[in-house]
Chains A and B, each alone.
Chain A
Amino acid sequence: MDVVELLNDLTGGQLLLWKVLLTSVIFACAGLQVLLAARFYEASTVPPISTGAASRTHRLNGKLTVTLAVVVALSCLIGPAGPTSPTRVLLHSVFGSLVFALLAAKYTALKLRPAWGRYLPWIGSGLFLTFAAIWATSVADYVTAR
């Protein structure tokens, strides 16, 4: 079974469109993640919910975001991944890899190295900015290319 063929069948030949939509959802979720983190770190009073609720929502939203990111990343890896030209595609690959490197750093800080916890806001902010770069090097090109 060819996975790209399967994914195209599943999406009615609109695989790229679905990736564009999911990437945009992931980007929005990443923005919400940083906002929620700022709330439960008490760096912000927005949104007006308790820190506990912000923490729980952050975890739930994080799992959703990572799951969607993995699905989109896999469809990229088995589909058109590989080219390093043009530069936009190369940058997209670099940022795509960087996201998972930052996620690994975040989980390490959470589970294995509690002392690294003070870096979590910066890792989270970096994740958001990297998702923004991924969006800019894929979706932005998609909607402006033609």
Chain B
Amino acid sequence: MRAVRLLPLLALTGLVLVAAPAATRPAAAQAGEEARIVDFDFAPRRLTVEAGTTVTWTNTGQRPHTATDRGGTFDTKPVAPGAKAEVTLSTPGTYFYFCRINPAKMNGVLTVEPGADEPRAVRVQAVDPGFTGDKLRFDPPELAVAAGTTLLVANVGGKPHSLTADDGSFDTGIVDPGAEGGRFAGRSASVTLRQAGTFRFHCEVHPAAMKGVVTVTGEAASGGAPAQASAGPPEVDVGAVDFAFEPDNASVAAGGKVKVTNNGQAPHTLTLDDVDLDTGNLAPGANAELTAPDAPGSYSYRCAVHPARMRGVLVVLGRDTEDPNAQAAAPPAAPAAPASGGGGGPSGGVTAFVLAAAVIAAFLGGIGVSAFALRRRAAT
């Protein structure tokens, strides 16, 4: 009986013994582009790659997850268990990314280092305690770039920020954070530095805490052409059917046109969550046109009539902003063995086991509870 009393202790001891070798195991080598998504983490959490590298995330968990830039420049969309998603990043800098389905638990850091060529754009993150618990700062606070380089300023926190030169020579304007204090991906903005010199900059909203300096060398090419034109299409068609958007992830250039057509039998709307853009009710067959926001970033949208089932993300592309939907179009790997009802679900063996366990539990427990209840009735 003593051994029985010690059972919980023995079980916990066994768990610790099994865990010990794993705890001393070295972290996975950060070879570059291969990474895993597990329930509820990224492995590795920190990844350093060279500009132009394609990062492939494989979801080895049992739930769909995303790898989404907190600054809104890439979003894998939900990756089903067993599937893969790829993102190619050409702009050097640090990327705080997260799973927008499990934003509190799943956070990672992707560092993109410059390649052999001089970068035409560099990323600067505006960080605050918002959702990551960090302190107010620019990341990095000091930069050295060639004239003509574009600074892509990503708000990865929960408060509004700007990147404004102390002498007023450049200013991103206010860059909005993600909705709900950083619960969702934030926005990004860009400025192109053409004049050589050393420029101190600050955040107009937090001038005391957020400061930095950028050193610009050389001379920009005459004509002042932008570093790179937006790769986004000037217009995009989004269809509303019963009950989904087609596509549910669309990309468009900043200020581009979003043409919405109701191809279903029920009334629908396309309503953006974070900005005041709404088609209003569209009768079956009707269409409407919206003008995309000027600020690059990811904007979630929904049908106000069927908000639970009809949702999507509109990616507004700016300069040097990767198109996550173009990356997501790459053929994903075959998903895990499908469940009886659909792809990506648990295997049939698991389903059978848990259902059998439930039937056994209900049968045994039902007899027991019934016996008590019947005895009680007989006693009374």
Binding site for B on A (CB under 8 A): 1-2, 4-6, 8-10, 12-17, 20-21, 24-25, 27-38, 41, 43-44, 46, 59-60, 63-64, 66-67, 70-71, 79-80, 82-83, 121-122, 124-125, 128-129, 131-132, 135, 139-140, 142-146
The CA of A132 and the CA of B19, in the complex, are separated in Å by 30
Q: Is the CB of A63 within 8 A of B354?
A: no
Q: Is the CB of B61 within 8 A of A21?
A: no
Contact for B62 among A1, A14, A34, A129, CB less than 8 A: A14
Q: Is the CB of A17 within 8 A of B62?
A: yes
Binding site for A on B (CB under 8 A): 4-5, 7-8, 11-12, 15, 18-19, 22-23, 25, 36, 38-41, 43, 60-64, 80, 102, 104-105, 339, 341-346, 350-351, 353-355, 357-358, 360-369, 371-372, 374-376
The CA of A40 and the CA of B115, in the complex, are separated in Å by 74
Contact for A128 among B61, B350, B369, CB less than 8 A: B369
The CA of A33 and the CA of B8, in the complex, are separated in Å by 17
The CA of A128 and the CA of B366, in the complex, are separated in Å by 9
Give chain B residues whose Cβ lies under 8 Å from the Cβ of A37.
368, 372
The CA of A35 and the CA of B60, in the complex, are separated in Å by 39
Nearest chain-A residue to B360 (Cβ)?
A: A28
Give chain A residues whose Cβ lies under 8 Å from the Cβ of B365.
30-35, 128-129, 132
Provide 8 A-B residue pairs closer than 8 Å at the C-beta atoms, listed in order of the A residue.
A13-B39, A16-B39, A34-B369, A38-B372, A44-B368, A66-B8, A143-B339, A146-B343
Instruction: Give 9 closest A-B pairs by Cβ, nearest first.
Output: A34-B368, A31-B365, A31-B364, A24-B357, A31-B361, A44-B371, A38-B371, A13-B60, A43-B375
Q: Is the CB of A6 within 8 A of B4?
A: no
Contact for A43 among B351, B362, B372, CB less than 8 A: B372
The CA of A35 and the CA of B361, in the complex, are separated in Å by 10
The CA of A108 and the CA of B124, in the complex, are separated in Å by 59
Nearest chain-A residue to B22 (Cβ)?
A: A9
The CA of A67 and the CA of B215, in the complex, are separated in Å by 61
Give chain B residues whose Cβ lies under 8 Å from the Cβ of A67.
7-8, 11-12
Give chain B residues whose Cβ lies under 8 Å from the Cβ of A30.
361, 365
Give chain A residues whose Cβ lies under 8 Å from the Cβ of B19.
6, 10
The CA of A2 and the CA of B346, in the complex, are separated in Å by 26
Q: Is the CB of B354 within 8 A of A143?
A: yes
Nearest chain-A residue to B105 (Cβ)?
A: A80
The CA of A131 and the CA of B60, in the complex, are separated in Å by 28
The CA of A36 and the CA of B371, in the complex, are separated in Å by 11
Q: Is the CB of A20 within 8 A of B350?
A: yes
Give chain B residues whose Cβ lies under 8 Å from the Cβ of A71.
11, 15
Give chain A residues whose Cβ lies under 8 Å from the Cβ of B372.
34, 37-38, 41, 43, 121-122, 125
Q: Is the CB of B364 within 8 A of A35?
A: yes
By DSSP majority rule, is chain B's interface helix, strand, loop, or mixed? helix
Contact for B346 among A25, A79, A129, A142, CB less than 8 A: A142
> Which of A13, A30, A46: most chain B Cβ within 10 A?
A13
The CA of A98 and the CA of B18, in the complex, are separated in Å by 30
The CA of A27 and the CA of B366, in the complex, are separated in Å by 12
The CA of A29 and the CA of B11, in the complex, are separated in Å by 16
Give chain A residues whose Cβ lies under 8 Å from the Cβ of B366.
31
Contact for A28 among B11, B62, B102, B364, CB less than 8 A: B364
A65 to chain B, nearest CB (A): 10
The CA of A58 and the CA of B83, in the complex, are separated in Å by 44
Q: Is the CB of B105 within 8 A of A79?
A: yes
The CA of A134 and the CA of B38, in the complex, are separated in Å by 23
A130 to chain B, nearest CB (A): 11
Contact for B41 among A4, A12, A29, A59, CB less than 8 A: A4
Nearest chain-B residue to A27 (Cβ)?
A: B361
Q: Is the CB of B43 within 8 A of A8?
A: yes
A35-B367 contact in complex given A10-B19, A70-B8, A143-B345, C-beta closer than 8 Å: yes
A13-B61 contact in complex given A4-B105, A24-B354, C-beta closer than 8 Å: yes
A20-B354 contact in complex given A35-B367, A41-B372, A132-B365, C-beta closer than 8 Å: yes
The CA of A14 and the CA of B37, in the complex, are separated in Å by 11
Known interface pairs A80-B102, A146-B341; 12 further A-B residue pairs with C-beta atoms within 8 A, sorted by A's residue number: A10-B18, A13-B60, A16-B63, A17-B62, A20-B346, A27-B358, A31-B365, A35-B368, A43-B375, A66-B8, A79-B105, A140-B358
Nearest chain-A residue to B357 (Cβ)?
A: A24
Give chain A residues whose Cβ lies under 8 Å from the Cβ of B342.
146
B101 to chain A, nearest CB (A): 11
Q: Is the CB of B368 within 8 A of A38?
A: yes
The CA of A110 and the CA of B25, in the complex, are separated in Å by 44
Nearest chain-B residue to A70 (Cβ)?
A: B8
Q: Is the CB of A63 within 8 A of B4?
A: yes
B47 to chain A, nearest CB (A): 15
The CA of A64 and the CA of B10, in the complex, are separated in Å by 11
Q: Is the CB of A9 within 8 A of B25?
A: yes
